[in-house]
A and B are shown apart, each in its own frame.
Chain A
Amino acid sequence: MTTIIRKSFKRELFLCFLVVALVPLVITGCFLVSVLKARLSKDYEEKTQAQLVSVEARMTGTFDAMEKVAEEILADPVIVDGITQTDSWLKNKAYKRLYEKTQDLREIAWFHVYDAQGICSLSTSPQGVAGELPAYWGLLKVARTHSQDMILRRASWEQGADAPCLQGAHAILDENEECVGFVVVDMTETHFETILSGAYDEQNGIAVLDSFWEDVYSTKAAKEASLAQTLRTRWMAGEDLRQTTDGITFYIAPITRTGLYIILGREPVFTQDVTNMTAGVIMIMAVCSLLLCVLAAGVMSDYLTTPVKRLTKAMARVEEGDLDVQIKSGRKDELGQLSASFDGMTRQIKENLELQVKQQKELNDSNIAMMQAQLNPHFLYNTLDTIKWVAKAHHVPELATLASGLARILRTSISEAPFISLSEEVSLVCAYMDIQKIRFDGNFSYDVELPLELEECRVPKMIIQPIVENAILHGLKEREDGHIFLNIYEEEAVLYVDVYDDGCGMDEEILSLLRERNREKLKGHIGFYNVDTIIRLHYGMQYGLYAENQPGGGTKVRITLPVATGNLM
């Protein structure tokens, strides 16, 4: 993966852009969502708590008012008398009082008066007298034992839409503290709706539960969510009341002094839909920035790589020798500067090269001019010739020999032809040896064996003279009558030139240096090395110079080269 990305500038840029664009986007997105979530939850939380408080306050207020009315009823002798009254006029009076007392609360509860046996005697219910309640059981039993308070219980006997869902009872005592009846308050679902209307948000479920968390009254939303059953089931099973799975948040508040509870269930603020939508928006934004990254990476890499590619191409042309290449980038940035530098560099190189060629040409011209300015060699030859004749006329033969030998050597060495015939080379060597003979007072003699058929053979000039010079200067040093023998012969198209001397021989050290062709250490014998090099350069490695000591004393140096006739050059 990494290698795939690393191979392309475009992909590297794309990855880089992607990270730079996406990471902040995702982080900010998530951050925003969670901050929003926290803020919303907090707001709703406060709102819901406030609702719960207001509902609780309304319920408490209602129950307080009911208790007050109930106490007024049971304190009213006319009503209490009405319980057992059969006289219809007196009963009417009792009813009148009952309606008077309850007129403020008639919208939110029905009031009944029961006798001590639990038989209903007076009632404000539109359905008339409610029948009976067991006095030994439930509500009335508790009301009798707690005769100072109003007791609230979930109504259990009747079913149906208009049946009471909550019943309250207050015992009526006579002067002997004997129970003579009960004031019973019935509250139906309609009553609860009237009490709670406007106190809570419709979408929240409200439930009123009794002390054992049985459903007394539930709003529609609470019924649909079966709040009461769910809570009681969890409570009984010892589970956590609030569970992550149900998504509904519960708020519980006890209603003061009644043993009842209010439960408010709220749907989560951040529903799955909202979360999905936010995630969707972030996704779309991410896709957009992805596309933008692709585009930007393409444009940017083109912008960066085009001059680099042009530079690479131009360099390739320079490598091929084309120095006229110019990129001529119009850009002002670093890559533009690089291109400009390249242009400058090639221009400079070209100028330098032209200058060099011009200088070389000038140098050559001056060399020729200088050579032309040299002394005419013919003047030297003529002078040496004159010396020879003057010497002969004055009978100084040695001087004549010296002058004519020198003239011969001079002519050959000055001539521009690199190759000469073998006879010319041999006569040059003879002239040299004649001069040296006079210099060293006739201390050595020499012989030359040159077959007639080899006389016209062409050889590089001055290849034998250095060998002979070495033999005279080193081999025959401090020798009286030394002898040098020059033996030239041909064998299988190879020309052999052997130079013998009977001198002191060569050091083994120098021989081995010669064999290794070590120029650095051959100081003083540079003539040998030059001859060897010339032959090898002209004819190849199998030819050259070989030196060895003779068993009877003296040295033998052999030059080998191919037999060649005619003008080689």
Chain B
Amino acid sequence: MKKRILQAAASLFMAAVMTGGCGSGQIQEEYRLEESNKLVVYTSHKEEIYGPIVREFEERTGIWVEVVTGGTNDLLDRIAGENGKNSGDVMFGGGVDNLNAYAAYFEPYVSSQWEQLDSAYASEDGAYTVFSKLPIVIAYNKKLVISAGTPRSWRDLTNNHWQGNIAFADPYRSGSSYTALMTMLQILSQDMAEEETLEAFVSNLDGDILAGSGEVLQEVTAGKKLIGITLEETVLKEMDQNADIGMIYPKEGTAAVPDGSALIKNAPHRENAELFIEFTVSEDVQRLLEDRLYRRSVRRGAQSTPVREVLYDLEYSETHREEILTQWKELTGQP
């Protein structure tokens, strides 16, 4: 009997709680995202690059984009780890050399606009699609170096006149720094042996090697170094704000290794991913790169002032990476 009374009391209580708990169905059922309207983008770009592009893509296509950000190598490792399961759809960003190294995890895709694109660094099997070109340049502080006294060429950088005045990031840690180093070696290889160039350059650095590529321009603007070797994009952006920074394209030419996008294998939203890749090389996006984002378009006949380009030997730089870096280590005496 006692038990039955308790049960009755309990049910009464539950009823009271239920009547108190309802009455808040504020979110209507119509707000439901269709899986076919979705895209997951892994990107190593900064927000200022991917933000406008992703937003414009959403508005033009009606596809909702989930952005996953991270460093190039972290994201590529993640893609390799996921190996086509529960992964993203597109890898947006990362140098083509990096993307090529992970080609096994990408679905071959050739853009319908490939004819309009610069083919110099095009992927042979369509593992990636190029996005923007990033030439390596020399920046200098106008307050400290008159324009007549600036270095003109790669060769000048090996001249001991600049000893202790060059801002350069550790090629171990910075991908662009390694590319800059290899570009210099490649260009100067006609006149000087690799070891010789390396030795001369390292002695010019005077043992002061920066931890990251972001610090190069900081050192130059702060006047701690006179010149710095870094990407054109960074320098152009700084020049927009700071009139005291100047930029030199070395007269032998420079490498403009592009970054790219790649379709991840077994992408859950493959059609949307293809649309996105097409969009990244579209006229509007490429124009925006040059207009607003300080980058060079990969489309043929782009507007920006042409620069003398040398073809960077991707294969050589990849295969000799260990060897060069070991030499670097020995010369700089880095741990």
Contacts and interface: CB of A to CB of B under 8 A. Distances in A.
A89 interface: no
Interface in B246-295: 283-284, 287-288, 291-292
A212 B13 contact: no
Chain A to chain B: the 9 pairs with minimum beta-carbon distance, closest first: A38-B20, A34-B20, A34-B16, A37-B20, A236-B66, A251-B26, A212-B58, A31-B16, A241-B27
B55 A252 contact: no
Interface string A224-251: 0000000000011110011000000111
Contacts of A37: 20
A115 to B, nearest CB: 16
23 contacts: A27-B13, A31-B16, A33-B20, A34-B20, A35-B16, A41-B20, A41-B23, A45-B24, A45-B26, A136-B288, A137-B284, A137-B288, A138-B52, A156-B51, A156-B52, A156-B55, A212-B55, A212-B58, A236-B64, A238-B33, A241-B27, A241-B31, A250-B27
A556 interface: no
B26 A236 contact: no
A38 B20 CA distance: 4
Nearest to B13: A30
Contact of A154 (B23, B55, B64, B66): B55
B26 A242 contact: yes
Contacts of B52: 137-138, 156-157
Nearest to A270: B20
A142 interface: yes
A38 to B, nearest CB: 4
A250 B26 contact: yes
Interface residues of A, number: 35
A235 B34 CA distance: 10
A235 B65 CA distance: 11
Given A30-B13, A156-B55, A136 B64 contact: no
Given A156-B52, A156-B55, A250-B27, A236 B20 contact: no
- Interface range on chain B (Cβ under 8 Å from partner): 20 to 34
A42 interface: yes
A250 B20 CA distance: 18
A27 B12 CA distance: 8
A45 B23 contact: yes
A134 interface: yes
Contacts, number: 86
A157 B291 CA distance: 12
Interface string B14-51: 00110111011011100101010010000000000001
Contacts of A34: 13, 16-17, 19-20
Interface string B41-75: 00000000001100110110000101000000000
B325 interface: no
A190 B262 CA distance: 42
B266 to A, nearest CB: 19
Contacts of B192: none
A136 B287 contact: yes
Given A45-B24, A134-B288, A242-B26, A212 B16 contact: no
Residue of B21, B23, B24, B28 contacting most chain A CB atoms (<10 Å): B24
A31 B12 contact: yes
Which secondary structure dominates where chain B touches chain A? helix
Contacts of A136: 283-284, 287-288
A249 B9 contact: no
Interface string A253-269: 00000000000000000
Contacts of A284: none
A50 interface: no
Given A138-B56, A212-B64, A252 B31 contact: yes
Residue of B12, B21, B26, B56 contacting most chain A CB atoms (<10 Å): B26
Given A38-B19, A134-B291, A214 B26 contact: no
A42 B12 CA distance: 21
Contact of A252 (B12, B23, B26): B26
B28 A42 contact: no
A249 B24 contact: yes
A488 to B, nearest CB: 85
B55 A235 contact: no
Contacts of B35: 238
A30 B26 contact: no
B53 to A, nearest CB: 10
A425 to B, nearest CB: 82
Given A34-B17, A35-B20, A136-B284, A212 B27 contact: no
Given A34-B19, A134-B288, A214 B24 contact: no
A179 to B, nearest CB: 17
Contacts of B19: 34-35, 38
